[in-house]
């Protein structure tokens, strides 16, 4: 029996960028409605069991209360700590329980936490905000249907859910490399010794950016690389951008936050090669991952950034549903 997991982050879409920009705010009630529609989409295609992460906002609990008899809904047995550890723990437990796909509700940071839990299960990331590069904007019912076809093996997983790229941050200690954290979109180096609000939004404090995704049609740091040198879909390389706030003859105009086009001075733009070690030693500074999670570096500290192609498989719901239609997988005839 194929089962699908759902991880809904109640904190997603509520960081400081919602206060200093025109970013969209998605309430917990709307997230409840989205999860309900995801469950209906899963059930409609034939998924018999859904495994949910419990959350302090009671998003999944409220959504599960209206599930029909056609589908079994249960919750993971885990503590709720109201932190990203909930998402990491849930992803690990879903892997242990043999979940075939995970639908996530949240932003880039939510999916980064899922990747810390497992990079083996296909995920379908649903956006619940504006400052997102990684998740998809798609209606919940359709997302559930797409995830169901992958979980049931009705489509080719490699075609519909290719592995994404991942940026890993290591702490160098003599000859050993200790993994500190990962990012799925961007890693920024900020001159600030700490980021009180966690989210990086003051671009004039950023000295360099490492990008797994550089898209001109995105909001956030990815748009800087996207406007300077976009990374084509399927390209295994990344982008390393060095920023010069004082530059007046080389710059890009990029939507670093929603409703705000920033003039970003560029020092250099270079291709980031998979497997190559990029050392950051401009301490003291702060390393921000996917816009939020931060690692402070003291004077004399350094970290190494490495791009790889072993991130989690990501279900493209648009591509998947087109393949489903083209192959007539959900087309039934009783004649």
304-335 confidence digits (pLDDT tens): 999 999 999 999 999 999 999 999 999 987 76
184 and 210 in contact (C-beta within 8 Å)? no
Sign of the CA dihedral with 201 first, then 205, 210, and 215 last:
positive
Residue 182 has pLDDT above 90, yes or no: yes
Mean pLDDT (whole number) for 131-148: 93
Mean pLDDT (whole number) for 37-59: 96
pTM: 0.91
- pLDDT (0 to 100) of residue 12: 67
- pLDDT (0 to 100) of residue 166: 97
| Helices (H), ranges, the chain | 17-20, 28-45, 59-64, 84-96, 108-117, 140-151, 157-160, 221-228, 317-326
Roughly how many angstroms between the first and final C-alpha of the chain, as a whole number? 29
Note if the bond before 210 is cis, omega within 30 degrees: no
Pick 273 or 23 by higher pLDDT: 273
- pLDDT (0 to 100) of residue 76: 98
- Measured from the Cβ of residue 181, the count of other Cβ atoms closer than 10 Å reads 19
- pLDDT (0 to 100) of residue 231: 96
Residue 238 has pLDDT above 50, yes or no: yes
- pLDDT (0 to 100) of residue 188: 95
288 and 190 in contact (C-beta within 8 Å)? yes
Alpha-carbon gap, residue 190 to 158, rounded angstroms: 37
- pLDDT (0 to 100) of residue 192: 76
Q: How many helices (H) and strands (E) does the chain have?
A: 9, 16
- pLDDT (0 to 100) of residue 282: 79
**Average per-residue pLDDT for the chain:** 90
Residue entry with tokens 């296909």? 122
Residue 200 has pLDDT above 60, yes or no: no
Mean pLDDT (whole number) for 234-241: 96
Over the range 56-87, which residues count as b (16 or more CB within 10 Å of their CB) and which as e?
ebebbebbbeebeeebebeebeeebeeebebb
Q: Is 225 left (phi over 0), alpha (psi -120 to 50) or beta?
A: alpha
Alpha-carbon gap, residue 50 to 121, rounded angstroms: 15
The token pair at 56 is 């302090």
Alpha-carbon gap, residue 216 to 165, rounded angstroms: 18
314: DSSP letter: B
The domains found in the chain, sorted by start residue, are 3-164+312-326 (3.40.50.10330), 166-308 (2.60.200.30)
Share of the chain above pLDDT 70, in %: 90
Please state whether beta strands 260-272 and 251-257 pair in parallel, antiparallel, or not at all (unpaired).
Answer: antiparallel
Residue 298 has pLDDT above 50, yes or no: yes
- pLDDT (0 to 100) of residue 22: 53
Angle of helix 317-326 relative to helix 140-151, nearest 10 degrees?
70
Contact residues for 331 (Cβ-Cβ < 8 A; gap 6+): 325
pLDDT in tens, 9-25: 987 655 544 444 555 56
- Name, of 134-143, 195-204, 245-254, 281-290, the range with top average pLDDT: 134-143
The token pair at 308 is 């790889």
Share of the chain above pLDDT 90, in %: 74
- pLDDT (0 to 100) of residue 197: 47
- pLDDT (0 to 100) of residue 334: 72
Lowest mean pLDDT among 77-81, 265-269, 297-301: 297-301
Residue entry with tokens 């419990």? 54
Residue entry with tokens 């087309």? 331
Alpha-carbon gap, residue 188 to 222, rounded angstroms: 10
């Amino acid at each position: 029996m194929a089962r699908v997991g759902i991880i809904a982050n109640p904190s997603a879409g509520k960081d400081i960028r919602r206060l200093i920009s025109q970013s969209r705010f998605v309430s917990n009630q709307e997230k409840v409605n989205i999860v309900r529609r995801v469950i209906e989409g899963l059930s409609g295609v034939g998924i018999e069991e859904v495994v949910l992460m419990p959350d302090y906002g009671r998003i999944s609990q409220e959504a599960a209360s209206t599930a029909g008899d056609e589908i079994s809904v249960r919750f993971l047995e885990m503590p709720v700590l109201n932190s990203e550890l909930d998402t990491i723990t849930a992803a690990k437990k879903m892997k242990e329980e043999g979940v075939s796909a995970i639908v996530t509700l949240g932003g880039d940071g939510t999916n980064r936490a899922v990747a810390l839990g497992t990079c083996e299960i296909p995920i379908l990331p649903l956006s619940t905000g504006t400052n997102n590069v990684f998740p998809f904007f798609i209606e919940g019912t359709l997302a559930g249907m797409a995830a169901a076809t992958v979980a049931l093996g009705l489509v080719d997983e490699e075609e519909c859910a290719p592995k994404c790229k991942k940026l890993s941050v290591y702490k160098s200690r003599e000859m050993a490399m200790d993994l500190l954290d990962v990012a799925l979109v961007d890693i920024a180096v900020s001159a600030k010794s700490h980021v009180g609000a966690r989210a990086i939004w003051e671009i004039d404090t950023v000295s360099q950016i490492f990008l797994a995704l550089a898209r001109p049609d995105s909001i956030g740091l990815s748009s800087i690389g996207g406007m300077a040198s976009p990374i084509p879909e399927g390209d295994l390389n990344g982008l390393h951008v060095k920023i010069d706030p004082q530059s007046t003859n080389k710059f890009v105009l990029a939507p670093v936050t929603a409703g705000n086009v920033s003039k970003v001075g560029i020092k250099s733009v270079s291709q980031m090669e998979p497997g190559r070690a990029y050392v950051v030693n401009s301490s003291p500074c702060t390393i921000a991952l996917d816009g939020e999670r931060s690692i402070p570096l003291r004077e004399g500290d350094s970290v190494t950034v490495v791009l790889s192609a072993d991130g989690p498989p990501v279900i493209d719901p648009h591509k998947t549903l087109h393949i489903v239609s083209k192959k007539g997988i959900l087309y039934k005839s009783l004649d």
